[in-house]
């Protein structure tokens, strides 16, 4: 049973920085609007108990990430685990409302997005507190209010032009909390910030687990940024403790893990094993996965990647990773979920739409042919064409778990084969990285975490690719086709076209793209600049 500290003082009626609101808990952000509905004494007590039980292990695992990075920097390469969990075990069947997941739409937790996504016709909607949300205090708190209203079926939004409310058959709700590496500075316990993961998860499950169950659904999660099966084990411990504290049956909380780090790709079977009764499947988080290749092998010139646009899903390391993911999932009875179609249709340019939709259809047809059970899109207009491609292969069946892909044989070298035939670092690719990185960070610092840039929905993951590739190209002396080297000076001159040098986004961009030491996540120094 989860140890729960006593509540000694009620939440104050107004904002008071540093004021203790429960025993050992301090709320350092304003309690405005409907904040008190989610930041109740009982909910904060629940989050505090999770923090007390699991923050020590979280910090230990973050330290383990640093040690693994040191080993990689010294020349070590990842390998499959020898102590893997063999046998014919399988995860439990998916609950009824998630047996068919052909198209899932993702987006931030703002009110309009939640309504439109739930009404999009997608199988599920992943409400994202992580890459698609700038974690301002107001976004975090209002996001929890919005989710509670969505679960209750009462969510609506009145604007000058339109009234938004739920339709009769909304998509199944899933929630992605922040990763283990992120903190919530507006909540402190004994002087330490609480894990953003535990805040997002704790508030959502505390308020919504039972209402969801009463409506025939359940508390469903997406877990981001895992780098090892030990980090999945921590989540499993959190789930079990939360179920005990809330009086839920074991396995009520179900989760899909985003395999968006190259180290996690070597431990996919073990990640499912650690989650066991809580596991739903794995997702191919393609953008973060590319970022992880740059980040984990940043000292190695042989891992320098060409332009982001040239790193397609068919290059060797991406092909090996996705095929292994399908094989691993289906062997264990878990869903294999495909990657994001980030295209945002244009109302002004039908030709752009036609070309982009053809690429989306090709991508989704390939995923379906490879055995994926579902895929991701970023815009409601992509739900129908994506579903058509999945239906063409899967038909009326809810999934293709029976396709075991025993033909797939992947070795460690295959996951590390970063050859890109014909790949090059080009001036256009560099300009795109600078432009996307600066524009995204400018938006993120203003409180918006999902931004349309050049008809693509960009989030923190794609911004990470942009700035990390620049760091990699500068570090290893990459040259453009005309022989010009990629230098800090060249990057700054391109940045001058976008933002003034003293702009907050410009300073942050240069910190994470041009610093001597690689910054693991741009959202960490960025968070210090948010309210």
All CATH 3.20.20.360 domain ranges in the chain, comma separated: 44-415
Mean pLDDT of 93-116: 98
- Rounded Cα distance between 345 and 381, Å, is 7
pLDDT tier at 10, thresholds 50, 70, 90: very low
pLDDT tier at 21, thresholds 50, 70, 90: very low
Element housing 27 (H / E): strand 25-27
- Rounded Cα distance between 327 and 340, Å, is 20
Percent of the chain with pLDDT over 70: 95
Sign of CA dihedral 343, 344, 348, 353: positive
58, 65, 101, 176: the active-site residue? 176
Q: Is the pLDDT assigned to residue 8 strictly greater than 90?
A: no
Mean pLDDT of 186-203: 96
149, 200, 370, 459: the active-site residue? 459
At residue 12, the pLDDT reads 35
State the angle between helix axes of 427-445 and 488-495 in degrees (0 to 180), rounded to the nearest 10: 60
Strand 335-341 versus strand 374-377 pairing type = parallel
* Residue 459 bears catalytic tag: yes
Write the DSSP string, 77-130: -----TT---SS--PPPPPGGGS--SEEEEEES-HHHHHHHHTSS-SEEEEESS
Mean pLDDT of 408-413: 97
- Rounded Cα distance between 132 and 114, Å, is 12
- Rounded Cα distance between 288 and 132, Å, is 13
Mean pLDDT of 288-308: 98
CA dihedral 22, 26, 28, 30 (to 10 degrees): 0
pLDDT tier at 255, thresholds 50, 70, 90: very high
At residue 352, the pLDDT reads 86
Q: What are phi and psi of 248, to 5 degrees?
A: -100, 150
Q: Is the pLDDT assigned to residue 2 strictly greater than 70?
A: no
Q: Tens digits of per-residue pLDDT, 353-409?
A: 998 899 999 999 999 999 999 999 999 999 999 999 999 999 999 999 999 999 999
Q: Is the pLDDT assigned to residue 90 strictly greater than 90?
A: yes
- Rounded Cα distance between 87 and 102, Å, is 29
- Rounded Cα distance between 347 and 353, Å, is 8
Mean pLDDT of the chain: 94
Q: Is the pLDDT assigned to residue 212 strictly greater than 80?
A: yes
Q: Is the pLDDT assigned to residue 89 strictly greater than 70?
A: yes
* Residue 414 bears catalytic tag: no
- Rounded Cα distance between 452 and 159, Å, is 21
At residue 24, the pLDDT reads 67
Lowest mean per-residue pLDDT among 45-54, 77-86, 134-143: 77-86
At residue 232, the pLDDT reads 98
Helices (H), 302-459: 316-331, 350-370, 383-394, 412-415, 427-445
Mean pLDDT of 443-468: 96
Q: Tens digits of per-residue pLDDT, 424-437?
A: 999 999 999 999 99
- CATH architecture entry for 44-415: Alpha-Beta Barrel (3.20)
Mean pLDDT of 104-131: 98
- Rounded Cα distance between 16 and 408, Å, is 58
All CATH 1.20.1220.12 domain ranges in the chain, comma separated: 427-527
At residue 3, the pLDDT reads 36
- Rounded Cα distance between 504 and 502, Å, is 6
Q: Tens digits of per-residue pLDDT, 472-491?
A: 999 999 999 999 999 999 99
Helices (H), 132-194: 137-152
pLDDT tier at 84, thresholds 50, 70, 90: low
pLDDT tier at 6, thresholds 50, 70, 90: very low
Among 1.20.120.1200, 2.60.40.180, 1.20.950.20, 1.20.1220.12, name the CATH number for the domain at 427-527.
Answer: 1.20.1220.12
- Rounded Cα distance between 43 and 49, Å, is 10
DSSP 278: G
Mean pLDDT of 33-41: 96
């Amino acid at each position: 049973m989860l140890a729960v500290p006593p509540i000694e003082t009620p939440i104050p009626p107004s904002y008071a920085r540093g004021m203790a609101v429960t025993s050992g808990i301090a709320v350092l952000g304003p309690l405005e609007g409907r904040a008190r509905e989610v930041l109740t004494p009982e909910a904060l007590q629940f989050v505090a108990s999770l923090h007390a039980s699991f923050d020590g292990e979280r910090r230990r695992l973050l330290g383990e990430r640093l040690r693994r990075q040191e080993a990689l920097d010294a020349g070590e390469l990842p390998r499959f685990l020898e102590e893997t969990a063999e046998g014919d075990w399988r995860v439990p069947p998916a609950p009824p409302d998630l047996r068919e997941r052909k198209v899932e739409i993702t987006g931030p937790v703002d009110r309009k997005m939640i309504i439109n996504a739930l009404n999009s016709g997608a199988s599920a909607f992943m409400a994202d507190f992580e890459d698609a949300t700038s974690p301002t205090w107001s976004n975090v708190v209002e996001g929890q209010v919005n989710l509670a209203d969505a679960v209750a079926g009462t969510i609506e939004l009145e604007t000058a032009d339109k009234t938004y409310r739920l339709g009769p058959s909304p998509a199944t709700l899933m929630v992605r909390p922040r990763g283990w590496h992120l903190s919530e500075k507006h909540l402190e316990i004994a002087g330490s910030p609480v894990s953003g993961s535990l805040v997002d998860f704790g508030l959502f499950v505390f308020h919504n687990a039972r209402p969801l169950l009463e409506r025939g659904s359940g508390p469903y999660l997406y877990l981001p940024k895992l780098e090892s099966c030990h980090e999945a084990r921590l989540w499993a411990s959190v789930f079990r403790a939360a179920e005990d504290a809330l009086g839920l049956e074991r396995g009520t909380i179900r989760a899909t893990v985003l395999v968006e780090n190259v180290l996690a790709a070597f431990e996919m079977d073990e990640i499912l094993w650690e989650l066991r009764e809580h596991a739903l499947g794995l997702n191919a988080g393609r953008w973060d996965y590319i970022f992880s290749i740059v980040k984990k092998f940043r000292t190695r010139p042989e891992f320098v990647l060409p332009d982001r646009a040239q790193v397609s899903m068919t290059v060797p390391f991406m092909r090996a990773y996705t095929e292994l993911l399908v094989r691993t999932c289906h062997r264990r009875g878990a869903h294999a979920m495909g990657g994001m179609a980030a295209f945002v249709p244009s109302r002004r340019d039908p030709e752009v739409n036609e070309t982009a939709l053809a690429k989306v259809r090709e991508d989704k047809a390939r995923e379906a042919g490879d055995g994926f059970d579902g895929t991701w899109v970023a815009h409601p207009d992509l739900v129908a064409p994506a579903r058509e491609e999945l239906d063409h292969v899967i038909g009326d069946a809810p999934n293709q778990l029976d396709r075991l892909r025993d033909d797939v044989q992947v070795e460690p070298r295959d996951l590390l084969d970063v050859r890109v035939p014909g790949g090059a670092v080009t001036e256009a690719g560099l300009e795109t990285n600078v432009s996307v990185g600066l524009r995204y960070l400018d938006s993120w610092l203003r409180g918006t975490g999902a931004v349309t840039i050049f008809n693509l929905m960009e989030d923190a993951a794609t911004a990470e690719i942009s700035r990390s590739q620049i760091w990699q190209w500068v570090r290893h002396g990459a040259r453009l086709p005309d022989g010009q080297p990629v230098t800090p000076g060249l990057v700054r001159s391109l940045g001058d076209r976008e933002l003034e040098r003293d702009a907050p986004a410009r300073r942050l961009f240069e910190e994470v793209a041009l610093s001597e030491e690689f910054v693991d996540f741009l959202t960490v120094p960025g968070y210090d600049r948010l309210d």
